[in-house]
Amino acid sequence: MTIRSILIANRGEIAVRIIRAAKALGIRTVQVHSAADADMLAVKLADEAVDIGPPAAAKSYLNVEKIIEAAKAAGVDAIHPGYGFLSENAEFARAVVDAGMIFIGPSADAISLLGDKVAARSVAAKAGVPTVPGSDGRVDDIALARAIIEETGFPAMIKAAAGGGGRGIRIVDTMEDFERQFPQAAAEAKAAFGDGGLYIEKVITKARHVEVQVLGDGENAVHCFERECSLQRRRQKVWEEAPSCRLPDDIRKALCESAVALVKSVGYKGAGTVEYLYDEDVGEFYFIEVNTRIQVEHPVTEMVTGIDLVQEMIRVAGGERLSVTQGDIALSGHAIECRINAEDSAKGFMPAPGTVTKLVEPEGAGIRFDTFLYEGYTVPPFYDSLLGKLIVHAENREDCLKKLKTALSGLKIEGLVTTIPLHLALCRDDAVAKGAFHTRFLEPWLETHFNPQTSSPAKVYEEASS
């Protein structure tokens, strides 16, 4: 079946991105929105728009019934879930199919299999993908857990099988610590997630976050090389690159091939990302998880491979074979993406929604700004703080950083506070220039190398978010 119309079950910049891809394919677009999003850019660009409820995401963008109802009423062939919200919700994927439409993503079964951390780990192991040393699945018995931890060593993590997004994790440094924390962790997981199942993983202290973009059509699968996303704050990515500049070629090859083997083993259909930790000191990589959706940072891959990942997702969902073979996909140059958030870095990164009074986007070859902003638009406070993504592509990383500096200086968003100053500071940093960072680099760097005043008017404790 060919897809002639799609409903976009998302908002913000990714909704705009999906509409642009659909328009390029000549597909009719229907945009759902909450009452707080009636004037967002995706609503203006789409052929049709449907109000699906109040501002709270639980009553709009997470409301499966309302979205299916809107899709049926609009008579669309397919639904694109974007990222976050319902994108990795197997029940939603199933409901879309049950209602006679196409879910643009993998099957509900693949989503639930790969979404379960313990199950995904064993899929990876079976496909020959190295996993972080630890328990082979759940450990309910403390004696067995003790034996495993003696093998892996400290520090180690006790993780809730039903956890995720950084929740349900305890780090233990000694056996004594472990003996005390294990029963507590089980009780806590039972209370928090309704499932007391635990597993154990070694802590890789200085790791890079490297992830492989994959595409599958249900039979064949290819990779589009890797992204490096080690610059994170509170487990949220801040800056992403493609390729990972310090990855040796033989490791890149093994890493990318392992991701393809993993998704092929489950007959994966759509775009996906296989995430790894890479331990530079020992040259080993370890599987962490699979994200069964398009990712925020997908544009860096598009810049270095020339593949339109969102268009490819739509075509594959419509029943076409992949338009590229592995041999067609080559790396060209280097790309960096900066996430521009509505946050005040001088006030502990406090979210700062507001009205855009002036917007000047940098232009030029190899510069792309994915956003949903326009002059006069008021960014609502109900959703996440991502305003846009500045992506820059050049022949090599050094030129890319130079071009990024110029592009960041040319990007003017007036009327609200943004994280542009943080990115400019990162551009000027020597360690960043050398690519010498890991997942725990940015937070201490913010303390020692970044200079905002620290006077948050309110105590901030962030929700574990997607």
Partner 1 sequence: MSKLEIKSPLPGTFYRKPSPDAASFKEDGAAVTEKETIGLIEVMKSFHEISAGVAGANITFLVDDAEPVIAGQVLAEVEA
Which residues have CB under 8 Å from 327's CB, separation 6+?
Answer: none
SS3 183: helix
| 248 cis-preceded (ω within 30 degrees of 0) | no
User: Is residue 342 a contact residue for partner 1 (CB under 8 A)?
Assistant: yes
Closest approach of Cβ 430 to partner 1, in Å?
Answer: 31
Choosing from 325, 332, 451, 465, the residue that interacts with partner 1 (CB under 8 A) is 465
Residue (281 or 462) nearer to partner 1, CB: 462
Kindly state whether residue 382 participates in binding partner 1, applying the rule CB under 8 A: yes
Counting beta carbons within 10 angstroms of the beta carbon of residue 220, is it exposed (0 to 12), middle (13 to 18) or buried (19 or more)? Answer: middle
Q: At its nearest, how many Å lie between partner 1 and the CB of residue 340?
A: 13
As measured in angstroms, the least distance from the Cβ of 125 to partner 1 is 34
Please tell me the distance from the alpha carbon of residue 198 to that of residue 137, in angstroms, as a whole number.
8
Binding segment toward partner 1, per CB under 8 A, in 75-83, 119-127, 241-249, 383-391: 383-391
In angstroms, how far is CA 216 from the centroid of its own chain? Answer: 18
- Give the phi and the psi of residue 202 in degrees, each rounded to 5: -70, 145
Q: From the list 353, 366, 415, 421, which residue makes contact with partner 1 (rule: CB under 8 A)?
A: 353
Task: Please report how close the Cβ of residue 382 comes to partner 1 at its closest, in angstroms.
Answer: 7
| DSSP result, 313-376 | HHHHHTTPPPS--GGG----SEEEEEEEESEEGGGTTEE---B--EEE---STTEEEEE---TT
Residue from 26, 100, 444, 457 that binds partner 1 (CB under 8 A)? 457
Selected from 126, 219, 381, 431, the binder of partner 1 by CB under 8 A is: 381
Q: Which of 384, 405, 406, 424 binds partner 1 (CB under 8 A)?
A: 384
- CB of residue 258 vs partner 1: minimum separation in angstroms? 33
- Whether 235 sits among the annotated catalytic residues: the reply is no
- Angstrom CA distances, 250 to 95, 204, 253, 313, stand at 43, 21, 5, 29
Q: Does 115 bind partner 1 (CB under 8 A)?
A: no
Nearer to partner 1, 191 or 330 (CB): 191
C-alpha span between 7 and 71 (Å, rounded): 6
Name the segment binding partner 1 (CB under 8 A); options: 98-106, 216-224, 258-266, 375-383. 375-383
Q: What is the distance in angstroms between the CA of the first residue and the CA of the last residue of the chain?
A: 32
How near is the Cβ of 318 to partner 1 at its closest, in Å? 34
Answer yes or no whether residue 364 interacts with partner 1 by CB under 8 A. Answer: no
Contact 294, 83 (CB under 8 A): yes
Helix (H, G, I), strand (E, B) or coil at 450: coil
The one segment of 261-269, 376-384, 408-416, 427-435 that binds partner 1 by CB under 8 A: 376-384
Q: Does 192 bind partner 1 (CB under 8 A)?
A: no
CA dist 303 and 280 (Å) reads 25
Task: Choose one: 37-45, 298-306, 350-358, 360-368; the region binding partner 1 (CB under 8 A).
Answer: 350-358
Does 147 engage in binding with partner 1 (CB under 8 A)?
Answer: no
Q: Does 51 bind partner 1 (CB under 8 A)?
A: no
CB-based contact 133:148 (threshold 8 Å): no
Does position 55 interact with partner 1 (CB under 8 A)? The reply is yes
Residue choice 225, 278, 286, 383 for contact with partner 1 (CB under 8 A) = 383
Catalytic residue among 17, 233, 252, 293: 293
377 in contact with partner 1 (CB under 8 A): no
Whole-number Å distance between alpha carbons of 292 and 11: 18
Q: How far is CA 48 from the centre of its chain?
A: 28
Q: How far is the CB of 347 from partner 1 (least distance, A)?
A: 11
* CA angle 70–464–204, rounded 5-degree value: 125
Which residues does the annotation mark as catalytic?
293
Instruction: Using CB under 8 A, list all residues that contact partner 1.
Output: 36, 55-56, 342-343, 350-351, 353, 381-385, 457-463, 465
